[in-house]
Amino acid sequence: MKPTPTPAEMDKAFRNRDASYDGIFYVGVRTTGIFCRPSCPARKPLAKNVEFFATAGEALFGGYRPCMRCAPLKAGGEHPDWASKLLERIDDAPSVRIKDGDLRALGLEPAKARRYFLGRFGMTFHAYCRARRLGKAFDEIRNGGRLDEVILTHGYESHSGFREAFLNRFGKPPGRTRGGDVIRVAWIETPLGPMAAGATAKGVCFLEFTDRRMLEAQFGALSRRFGLAIVPGENELTHRLRSELDGYFAGALKKFTVPIEYPGTDFQMRVWRALLEIPYGETRSYEDVARSIGSPGAVRAVGHANGLNRVAIVIPCHRVVNKSGELGGYGGGLWRKRNLLAIEQEAPPDRRRAPR
C-alpha cells in the first residue's frame, strides 16, 4: 500500500492547509460526502467527521466525490512549490548529488522528500536522483562519451563504484551499452489523475494511473519483459503522448498515432490488437472480442488478457464491457472507465458517487 504520514501528522497538515502534503494523502468529509486536498481553503470540519485516504481512488471508492473548490483530481494534486523547485534543481544538474544535509539546508526534512517521491513516483527521493544521474550517464556513454569523463562528471569516486551502480541499474556493464536503449518513465497529469508513461526509443510501452496498486512491481515486470532498465525522464515519444492525451481529454483527438510497443503471448497480442480496432465512442463485449479473434470459447481468457493491458487508454481496454452492458472491471477504477466512455460518447461526466 502507498505509505502515508501518521494520522496526527495528516490532521495537523489538513488544519494548517499545508500544500506540501497535496498528493501525499486526501481527506474525506463525512458530513458533506466530498474529499479534498490537504490545502483545501474550505472551512475545516470537526476531526470526528474526517477520514484520510492514501489515494484519490480510495476516497472515490469510499463513496466520496471530489471537492469543487480544491479539485483534488486535477493533476492528481500538482507538485507543491518545494517539490517543483527540487525537481527543477535535479533536472538542471542531474549529475550533482543532493544529500540529506543539502535538503536540510533548503529547509526540507529528508523524510518528507522521501515520502513524497515514494508516493508520487514509486521510488524514494535518493533513488529518483540516482536513476536520473545514471540515466544521464547512460546517454553520454551511448553517444560516445569517454568512460573516465562520465565517471568524474557524475559524482562517482571510482570506476568500481560507478560500474557496480551501473550494472545494478542496467543489467550490463557500461562498455556494453553503446547503442542500447532504456525505458524512460515520465509522469503525465490528466483530469482523471496522474499517469506514469514509459517509452523506449521505438514506442510507448506503458501507461497507467499512478494510484494503481503495485505500480513499482509493474515497473519491475516491464523491465524484465523488455530486458531494459527503467529511468525517470522524457523522450520524444513521451512528449508526443502527453500532447495526444491533452487532445483526447479535451475531446479533440479520437485516434492516437504515437507508436506503441506491447509484446506478450500470441493470444494476448491478438486480444490487444482487437482492442485497437474498437472504434472511438463504441464498446464491445468480451464475447465480441473473443469472436473477433477466432476464439469464441475463450471469453474468460480474453477478460484476463484485457486486464493485463499495459498501455491504458491508447490500447482502449476501457471500451470492453459485459454482455449485459454493465461496465465490468477496470484496473484504474470503474469511475474512470465511466468518465473515459463519457468523453468518447460526448456525454456529461459521470458525477455519481462510488458505492460504499
Measured between alpha carbons, how far is 24 from 295 in angstroms, rounded to an integer?
Answer: 44
Residue 323 identity (one-letter amino acid):
K
What grid cell was written down for 201? 526509443
Q: Which three cell numbers stand for residue 74?
A: 486535477
SS3 220: helix
Residue of 70, 129, 205, 317 marked catalytic? 317
Whole-angstrom distance, CA of residue 270 vs CA of residue 264: 9
* Catalytic residue flag (residue 36): yes
Cβ neighbours for 325, distance < 8 A, ≥ 6 positions apart: none
Catalytic residue among 36, 67, 70, 129: 36
Does residue 67 have an active-site annotation? Answer: no
Which cell numbers hold the place of 245?
A: 492525451
Q: In the numeric block, which cell numbers belong to residue 144?
A: 560516445
Integer Cα distance of 53 and 10 in angstroms = 10
Cα(342)–Cα(231) distance, integer angstroms: 34
Q: Would you name the residues annotated as active-site residues?
A: 36, 317
